[in-house]
Amino acid sequence: MKSPTIVAAASAPGQGAVAVLRLSGPKSLEILAKGVRLDPKTIRLAPRRLRLARFYDAAGEVLDQVLVAYMPSPKSFTGEDMVEVHGHGGRAAVEALLARLLDLGAEPAGAGEFTRRALENGKLDLSQAEAVARMIEAGSRAELAGAVRVLEGELSQKLGSLQQAIEILLAEIEASLNFPEEPDLESLDLRSRRLEPLLAQAGALEQGLRRRVDSGAAEVVLAGPPNVGKSSIINKLSGKQVALVTSQAGTTRDAVSVELELGGRRLRLVDTAGRSKEMPAGEADRAAEVLALARAEQADLVLWVDDAWLAAEDMEKQAWGETLLPLRNKADLIDETQAENLDAELRALGGLLVSALDGRGLDDLSDLLVRRLDDLLGPADGLPLTTRQALAMDKLMAALRRAEKTLDHQVELAAEDLRSAMDAMGELTGRKLEPDLLDRIFSSFCIGK
């Protein structure tokens, strides 16, 4: 069965100087030729060239003056025959052109369908297809740079060479298991000759990845008791009046958030209601605390704020684990030696002493945020991995680390570990993905992509 010829606006809705409509499929040229009333042969003579034309409706009225281009298969984004129509970027013009193209036999494209066709026709692999989504979502130069590198094939190439290294090691282990008369494992020296370089390669790859990119910005939640200055800190960090600041406890109820770019990374700062020692009596205050807790639990990083005059040992031992960044605010209210000691204690715990009032420690806080998020999620310009891929990467690394332990004494187990590493690799590259998972991945794409 031939796939239908699909059409969609490739540019964003709304007004713009130019809007682009794309067609992909075997009838692209025929549909274009009818729309611009030219002989298909004439268009075919100048592939991949922009041509000025009039686009007509069925009655022969001019709908728009357009630039059109015909990209014959296989040298197109999807690998199929494709057409682009660049019209005037108003709603009415786009709708009229789209209606006419549908009328001429095109079908509306589904979400991500162009990219999916590119994948199915071998123009892109899954990581490149996902990089298309990352390019579009990139909110900073650093994020864009990482996505471009994936689109250019850097991730595919690195994964490919790692996969090859695993396959070679596995083959050598299996050979020695199947042919016991061959030289023994020790003399093969698989550890230093194969496994160690492989682990180094995997480690380097892991260091250069950026994780959890499908949730957009990294989420940094301000939490802590009421009235410690959480709202003041979010306002200072963002340079905006994001949240109300009053001397009354319980001013913040809804989680208020602001997006900003720090060190090339997009992050969302979220201010939440203070957590009181006892459950508050009021319904709204209770709901606010529940919401605050939920946001903190999902956060990439929790800035737990408390007052500077509390002794360090009073610090709430929070269950956030590696996502906790302890802050003490109102440094201006304690004396200098006290402040220095407290700051040192906090730094040892991965935290800081700040003052939202006089600004002390806030630049250090920005630097610390960047560093912590880099450690947690990888560098801002790293090769972006979706949550799905990051989980597969974790599985892969875990399997390789197990193989490191088992290789010398339990070779069969090492072979087993390497086989699970290969499975994880298949998930990572998308080679082992089920069609319905592909459906899910592409459904998050927008139409026209």
Ligand X SMILES: Nc1nc2c(ncn2[C@@H]2O[C@H](COP(=O)(O)OP(=O)(O)O)[C@@H](O)[C@H]2O)c(=O)[nH]1
Measured from each CB, the residue nearest to ligand X is 229
Sign of the dihedral through C-alpha 32, 133, 435, 170: positive
Q: Rank residues 339 and 441 by Cβ distance to ligand X and give the closer one.
A: 339
Integer-rounded Cα radius of gyration of the chain: 28
**DSSP assignment string, 91-129:** HHHHHHHHHHHHHTT-EEPPBTHHHHHHHHTTSS-HHHH
Nearer to ligand X, 79 or 351 (CB): 351
Whole-number minimum distance, CB 358 to ligand X, in Å?
Answer: 7
Residue 306: CB minimum distance to ligand X, A = 10
d(CA 290, CA 303): 17
Binding residue (CB under 6 A) for ligand X from 115, 227, 323, 386: 227
| Site mask for Mg ion (CB under 5 A), range 178-217, x = bound | ----------------------------------------
Of positions 35, 274, 351, 448, contacts ligand X by CB under 6 A: 274
- Cα distances (Å, whole numbers) of residue 240 to 14, 132, 243, 244: 29, 33, 9, 11
Answer for which of 28, 156, 252, 323 binds Mg ion (CB under 5 A) is 252
Which listed residue (76, 156, 176, 231) binds Mg ion by CB under 5 A? 231
Q: Is 316 in the site for ligand X (CB under 6 A)?
A: no
The residues near 146 (Cβ < 8 Å, ≥ 6 apart) are 134, 138, 210, 380, 381, 382, 383, 384
- The contact pattern for ligand X, residues 233-272, with x = CB under 6 A and - = no contact, is ------------xxx---xx--------------------
- Single residue of 35, 79, 112, 226 touching ligand X by CB under 6 A: 226
First to last CA, the chain: 23
Q: Which of residues 364-423 bind ligand X (CB under 6 A)?
A: none
How far apart CA 400 and CA 395 sit, in angstroms, is: 9
Q: Which of 185, 228, 299, 342 binds ligand X (CB under 6 A)?
A: 228
Site map for ligand X, 49-78, x if CB under 6 A?
------------------------------
Q: What is the DSSP string of 182-214?
A: SPPHHHHTHIIIIIHHHHHHHHHHHHTEE--GG
Which part of the chain contacts ligand X (CB under 6 A), choosing from 79-87, 227-235, 341-349, 436-444?
A: 227-235
Q: Are 109 and 7 in contact (CB under 8 A)?
A: yes
Q: Which of 155, 269, 356, 369 touches ligand X (CB under 6 A)?
A: 356
CA distances, 130 to each of 81, 125, 157 (Å): 22, 9, 15
Report the residue from 156, 176, 231, 323 that binds ligand X according to the rule CB under 6 A: 231
SS3 at position 341: helix
In whole angstroms, give the CA distance from residue 345 to residue 362: 17
Q: Assess contact for 48 and 70: CB atoms under 8 A.
A: yes
DSSP character at residue 312: G
Size of the site for ligand X (CB under 6 A): 20
Q: Indicate the residue among 66 and 356 with the shorter CB distance to ligand X.
A: 356
Q: Which does 194 bind (CB under 5 to 8 A by kind): Mg ion, ligand X, none?
A: none
Decide: is 291 part of the binding site for ligand X (CB under 6 A): no
The answer to whether residue 257 forms part of the interface with Mg ion (CB under 5 A) is no
DSSP E strands: which ranges in 273-323? 301-307
Q: Considering only 110-118, 225-233, 294-302, 410-418, which stretch makes contact with ligand X by CB under 6 A?
A: 225-233
- Residues forming contacts to ligand X in the complex (CB under 6 A) are 226-232, 245-247, 251-252, 274, 329-330, 332-333, 355-357
- Residues forming contacts to Mg ion in the complex (CB under 5 A) are 231, 251-252
